[in-house]
Amino acid sequence: MIVPLFGGALDVELPDDVIDVSDFRQVPDNQEVFLVERGSGPKEDKSIIIELLESPEGSIDQVLKMHLSDLLDIDISQINDVEYIKTSNSLGEDNYISIYKDSEKNLMVIFSLVRVSKVQTDILLSFFLSIDTPNYQHLKDLDSKNISQNYASLGMEPDVRLVHTATEKIHIKNWLIFSSE
């Protein structure tokens, strides 16, 4: 389903079963937050955060590490190389999709970075998954690199596809969302 973001300034395709967190909790102005409800099986702890962030300077590796460090509230020196897939999107900008596992928090994040160069803004879509749930416990002993390189055979294809589809089809309807006034 097409979901309007930031008062309709952007829209993105998300699954039909997302719940808008702002309906029951305050969310920062630069974020849109959704919970993902899937099927009738065991509940999975999944959420999606879409953020508008200032584009830092640096190589894509450095930028991914900076955003990931902020996102997970961890020291950037703890983040080793970040594996990513480079794709394109409807904005004509590069899109970078990566998977990172934070073992201390039993958390995995599939995140996608869209650099909107003409307005020096990064759109960061982060899909958080708890690896304590039954569907992801088999990932506990793997590192981020193994998961990134083998996500399809590990049963994560639908999760990666969700992130890819959302950022591939993102549309900006009102560019004034990026003005500083």
Cite the DSSP H helix spans in 19-135. 60-72
Dihedral of the alpha carbons of 127, 32, 72, 43, in degrees to the nearest 10: -40
pLDDT in tens, 29-69: 999 999 987 654 556 678 999 999 999 999 999 999 999 99
Whether domain 2-178 has CATH 3.40.1000.10: the reply is: yes
d(CA 140, CA 148) in angstroms, rounded, equals 14
- What pLDDT sits at residue 133? 78
Task: Identify the CA nearest to 47 among candidates 89, 18, 4.
Answer: 18
- What pLDDT sits at residue 152? 87
For the record, the structure tokens of 63 come out as: 């930028």
Name the residue ranges covered by the structural domains of the chain. 2-178
For the record, the structure tokens of 84 come out as: 């990513």
- What pLDDT sits at residue 40? 47
Residue with tokens 């970078």: 96
For the record, the structure tokens of 50 come out as: 């879409």
Residue with tokens 């961890």: 74
- What pLDDT sits at residue 43? 60
d(CA 132, CA 95) in angstroms, rounded, equals 29
The segments of the chain whose pLDDT lies below 50 read 40
pTM of the predicted model, to two decimals?
0.90
